[in-house]
Structure 1
């Protein structure tokens, strides 16, 4: 039976996992599909990547690792991604997954010169496409939860930028009809976002930001969740 494969690329902070769950739990909840339709593949902990033909769809999750670290498990996913895309299997990369998908297809990932982007941010759709299965009909601007210090500095040649903001020029992109990357976190809710900010106070200070101000601006972000729900419906 073909399944939606969630590619796990790392774990959240232990304190967050204990209270709120981990990346794969939040993604599964956001997809709004039956548990029997989903398989989690924990590549950093030794799970083998599945044969492409048994994937109904793929979600590559976020991570505390950095794409530029070129870890062996990350390079393995990177080499696997083109086959998924060329097979027209729907794939969604989130944060780390977004960057890895871009790198796998010829894009450039590097540390962001501005440091870390964290909290609830405003996102602007720059490429409105009524045929886009995930983004069509969404508001021109919406809020999303963000947490990253690396960026897709250059998109793959065949990618279309869908969304940006003043910090991040490539917050979302698409390759072909069914491969998407989103730098923001559609699977986060306000509780998860606040917990992340609190656990990353040192990094926030290093970037010259103030934790209290970030926490004070965190608010619900329902529009990105629609993107995840739409992906679930697309591949269910």
Structure 2
């Protein structure tokens, strides 16, 4: 797992009581493949390295997390190092997967372009994500409804797709909500939304960014923000609370982990397990 947050931001997350993105990803992967060996690396950091004696090519898959960085900030060494890391993953032919920041890093690493979304931030839930014709027949979405919602928090979007890529889903906010990228010897399946989140994690993220979200108009005041996150926390404790789910306009595509994380399971079953080293 490649942690997308730089060290300073990771420290801030911990101080705020939030889980690290890489820990969320590791937990998700282990829930799907309990006997997997999952290492965490921090490619944003100048002093990062793989475990001693382990080569990147020896991994059966690489998953990249979200981040608060922007690939548009290409003067930032933490950004450049992560783009270079994804290029190396492609060159080594290791299947890769990721969400949000990972989609944007994979895009830039393979020759595409990203911009700030003129429609503004997509926050909380990406609504009515619709599979493209390619997505309807793609193994990433095997068993997935043709239209669904997902957790989201991003301002950047893919504007120019890489030379060897397919858009697999999109919605009214972002034309690219999922994409397959082929580059070098590698293939990446990447999402703009966050299958690793649950409602409690979204509540923590909203509280962490309280001032900014009120300033951006997502909430009228602190009281309304905290009432909203209280309901999200209720659903984390009891996803069967039909009344609260109805109030927030969410359904099993958000609340049922098996539906929410189906893309990750499909990636593992389609690209990782067939090539597992024995």
TM-score category, normalised to shorter length: 0.7 to 0.9
- C-alpha RMSD over aligned residues: 2.6
Partner of 1:3: none
Q: 1:33 to 1:121 in 2, by over 3 A?
A: same
Partner of 1:13: 13
Partner of 1:44: 44
Q: Which runs of 5+ in 1 are unaligned?
A: 1-5
Match of 2:265 among 213, 229, 232: 229
Query: In 2, distance between residues paired with 1:189 and 1:217?
Result: 14
* 2:201 pairs with 1:192: yes
Q: Secondary structure at the match of 1:153?
A: strand
Q: Secondary structure at the match of 1:229?
A: helix
Shift, 1:218, TM fit: 6.8
Shift, 1:35, TM fit: 6.4
Partner of 1:150: 156
Shift, 1:191, TM fit: 0.8
Richer in helix (by share): 2
- The 5 Å alignment of 1:16-27 reads 18=17, 21-27=19-25
Richer in strand (by share): 1
* 2:73 pairs with 1:93: no
8 Å Cα contact 1:116/1:147 also seen in 2? yes
Query: In 2, distance between residues paired with 1:35 and 1:218?
Result: 36
Partner of 1:124: 130
Q: Secondary structure at the match of 1:39?
A: coil
8 Å Cα contact 1:93/1:100 also seen in 2? no
Q: 1:84 to 1:44 in 2, by over 3 A?
A: closer
Partner of 1:210: 219
Query: In 1, distance between residues paired with 2:118 and 2:130?
Result: 21
Query: In 2, distance between residues paired with 1:44 and 1:77?
Result: 6
Shift, 1:110, TM fit: 1.8
8 Å Cα contact 2:69/2:79 also seen in 1? no
Query: In 1, distance between residues paired with 2:249 and 2:4?
Result: 25
8 Å Cα contact 2:42/2:48 also seen in 1? yes
- The 5 Å alignment of 1:100-179 reads 100-122=105-127, 123-129=129-135, 132-176=138-182, 178-179=187-188
- Matched pairs, number: 229
Deviations 1:99-133 (A, max 9, x none): 01101111111211122111122211113457633
8 Å Cα contact 1:23/1:62 also seen in 2? yes
Partner of 2:238: none
Q: 1:148 to 1:129 in 2, by over 3 A?
A: closer
Deviations 1:169-196 (A, max 9, x none): 1111002483111110010001111221
Q: 1:61 to 1:136 in 2, by over 3 A?
A: same
8 Å Cα contact 2:134/2:166 also seen in 1? no
Query: In 1, distance between residues paired with 2:114 and 2:191?
Result: 14
Deviates more, 1:28-37 or 1:102-111: 28-37
Q: Secondary structure at the match of 2:151?
A: strand
